[in-house]
A and B are shown apart, each in its own frame.
Chain A
Amino acid sequence: MSEVPSELKYTESHEWLRAEDDGLVTVGISDHAQALLGDLVFVELPEAGTEFVTGDECCVVESVKAASDVYMPISGEIVAVNEALADEPEIINSSPYDNGWLFKVRPSANEMADLMDADAYQAEIDE
Chain B
Amino acid sequence: MPFIPHTDQEIAQMLETIGVDAIDDLFDEIPSHLRAGVLDAIPQGMNEMEISRLMRQRAEQNKSVICFLGAGAYQHHIPAAVWEITTRGEFYSAYTPYQAEASQGTLQLTYEYQSMMTALTAMDVSNASMYDGASSLAEAILMAVRANRKSKSRKILMPTTVNPVYRKTAHTIVKGQQIELVDVPYDKATGTVALEQIKLHGEGDITAVVIQQPNFFGCLEDVDAITDWAHENNILVIAVINPLTVAVLNPPGEWGGINEGSESNQVANNKGADIACGDGQPLGAPMSAGGPYYGLLCCKQAYVRQMPGRIVGRTVDLDDKEGFVLTLQAREQHIRRSKATSNICTNQGLVVTASTIYMAIQGAQGLENTAAACYANNNQLVEKLTAIDGVDKVFNSAHFHETVLQLNIPADVALSGLMDKGILGGYNLSQDYPELDYPELKNAILVCTTEMRSDEDIDTYVTAMQEVLNSSDVSVASLAETA
Contacts and interface: CB of A to CB of B under 8 A. Distances in A.
A69 B339 contact: yes
Nearest to A62: B330
Contacts of A62: 305, 330
Interface string A56-89: 0000001111110100000000000000000000
Contacts of A64: 329-330
A121 interface: no
A44 interface: yes
Contacts of B305: 42, 44, 62
Most chain B CB within 10 A, of A44, A64, A67, is at: A67
B223 to A, nearest CB: 31
Contact of B335 (A42, A44, A67, A69): A67
A63 B329 CA distance: 9
Interface string A37-50: 00000101000000
Contacts of A63: 330
Interface residues of B, number: 7
A69 B339 CA distance: 10
A18 B329 CA distance: 32
Contacts of B331: 67
A16 B339 CA distance: 23
B336 interface: yes
A65 B339 contact: no
Measured as residues with beta carbon below 8 angstroms from the partner, the interface class of chain A is under 10
Contacts of B335: 65-67
The SS class assigned to the B binding surface is helix
Contacts of A69: 339
Nearest to A68: B330
Nearest to B340: A67
Contacts, number: 19
Contacts of A66: 330, 335
Interface in B283-336: 305, 329-331, 335-336
Contacts of B339: 67, 69
Contacts of B330: 42, 62-67
A2 B331 CA distance: 27
A45 to B, nearest CB: 12
A66 B335 CA distance: 6
A20 B473 CA distance: 89
Nearest to B336: A67
A34 to B, nearest CB: 15
Contacts of B329: 64-65
A27 to B, nearest CB: 20
Nearest to A63: B330
Contacts of A44: 305
A44 B336 CA distance: 15
A56 B336 CA distance: 18
A67 B330 CA distance: 5
A65 B305 CA distance: 14
B199 to A, nearest CB: 29
Nearest to A57: B339
A69 B329 CA distance: 15
Nearest to A50: B149
A67 B305 CA distance: 11
Interface in A19-34: none
A59 to B, nearest CB: 13
A37 B330 CA distance: 11
A73 to B, nearest CB: 19
Nearest to A47: B149
A64 B335 CA distance: 10
A42 B329 CA distance: 12
Interface in B324-383: 329-331, 335-336, 339
A92 B87 CA distance: 46
A44 B305 CA distance: 10
A108 to B, nearest CB: 22
A44 B304 CA distance: 12
A63 B335 CA distance: 11
Nearest to A42: B305
B104 to A, nearest CB: 18
A67 B336 CA distance: 7
A32 to B, nearest CB: 19
A67 B340 CA distance: 10
A65 B330 CA distance: 6
Interface string B151-191: 00000000000000000000000000000000000000000
A56 B330 CA distance: 20
Contacts of A42: 305, 330
Interface string B137-150: 00000000000000
A69 B340 CA distance: 12
A37 to B, nearest CB: 10
A67 B333 CA distance: 11
Nearest to A69: B339
A62 B341 CA distance: 14
Query: Which 8 A-B residue pairings sit nearest by Cβ, starting from the closest?
Result: A67-B330, A62-B330, A67-B336, A66-B330, A66-B335, A65-B335, A67-B335, A63-B330
Given A42-B330, A44-B305, 12 more contacts: A42-B305, A62-B330, A63-B330, A64-B329, A65-B329, A65-B330, A65-B335, A66-B330, A66-B335, A67-B331, A67-B335, A67-B339
Interface of A: 42, 44, 62-67, 69
8 contacts: A44-B305, A62-B330, A64-B330, A65-B329, A65-B335, A66-B335, A67-B335, A67-B339
